[in-house]
Amino acid sequence: MRIVSSQEDDASEPAAGPRILAAGAPPSPGPVPKEYARHLQHGEALVWWSEKDRIQFGPLVMVLVAAVSLLGFATLFAPEFWIQPWSSLWPPIAALLSPALLVLVRERVNQRAVLVTDTAIVGVDRDGTPHRLPWGAPVSVRRDLLRGGIVLLGRSDSVRIPPSLVEDARRAVSSQARHQIRGASMIDDPTGWMP
């Protein structure tokens, strides 16, 4: 019977820290989880992956601070605002706080993973639905005005990239673009995102 030391045990498991998977690509957060790896095709090389898996509270806090500031100004200039009955008071307060709800919904909807491979870019929604655009398939690139970030539009599918992943995804795509042969078709990209 052999007793394995904790050092030997740690050495047998791969490190879970950031990894650079391809030259010129940004670091990925670690090994790709199985729920995302199953969307890769046989023989496809992963260049970069990342995910927006949590809500960033910074934008939400900024909106709430702005709403409270406006209520503070209303108190300074019209202290009688707070004397009115609750039935008259809640609609303006709800109107001031509604952008915070929009920001919260936007953060929740943007939770997704993005995988860049040597042959395609793949987006995986929170519910596990994949969206794949092979290189040469994107027809246009647009800013996503409601969600933030960008949308790569193809003829049959589209891939959304959340704002927090836009720059790293662009670097990963750029690392592969120099190896791709450009076709005759042009991509409509007023954003300048696609290399």
- Domain range for residue 152? 6-53+111-177
Q: Nearest-CA neighbor of 121 among 188, 31, 193, 29? A: 193
In a domain, 189, yes or no: no
* pLDDT higher than threshold 70 for residue 182: no
Which of 3-17, 39-53, 147-161 bottoms out in mean pLDDT, i.e. has the lowest? 3-17
Residues 124 and 40 in one domain: yes
Contacts of 136 (CB under 8 A, 6+ apart): 180, 183, 185
User: Contact 97/64 with Cβ under 8 angstroms?
Assistant: yes
Q: What is the CATH number of the domain that holds 156?
A: 2.30.29
pLDDT score of 2: 41
* pLDDT higher than threshold 80 for residue 185: no
Q: How confident is the model at residue 50 (pLDDT cuts 50, 70, 90)?
A: very high
Torsion angles phi and psi, residue 155, rounded to 5: -75, -30
Residues 89 and 121 in one domain: no
Residues 16 and 89 in one domain: no
In a domain, 187, yes or no: no
Angle at 89 between CA 83 and CA 93, to 5 degrees: 125
Mean pLDDT across 148-173: 93
Hey, how many other C-beta atoms are within 10 angstroms of the C-beta on 107? 22
> Which of the pair, 39 or 20, is modelled with greater confidence?
39
Residues 169 and 130 in one domain: yes
Q: How confident is the model at residue 65 (pLDDT cuts 50, 70, 90)?
A: very high
Q: Distance between CA atoms of 119 and 105, rounded to whole angstroms?
A: 32
Mean pLDDT across 9-15: 47
* pLDDT higher than threshold 80 for residue 106: yes
Residues 157 and 131 in one domain: yes
* pLDDT higher than threshold 80 for residue 9: no
Residues 144 and 122 in one domain: yes
Query: What is the DSSP track for 130-190?
Result: EEEEETT---EEEE-TTTSSEEEE-SS-EEEE-GGGHHHHHHHHHHHHTTSPP-SPPPB-T
pLDDT tens profile 111-160: 999 999 999 999 999 999 999 999 877 889 999 988 889 999 998 899 99
In a domain, 131, yes or no: yes
How many structural domains does the chain have?
Answer: 2
Q: Distance between CA atoms of 71 and 92, rounded to whole angstroms?
A: 10
Mean pLDDT across 63-77: 89
pLDDT score of 164: 92
pLDDT score of 52: 93
Residues 142 and 49 in one domain: yes
* pLDDT higher than threshold 90 for residue 51: yes
pLDDT score of 10: 46
Residues in the chain: 195
In a domain, 193, yes or no: no
Q: Distance between CA atoms of 98 and 6, rounded to whole angstroms?
A: 52
Tokens 């030997």 correspond to 8
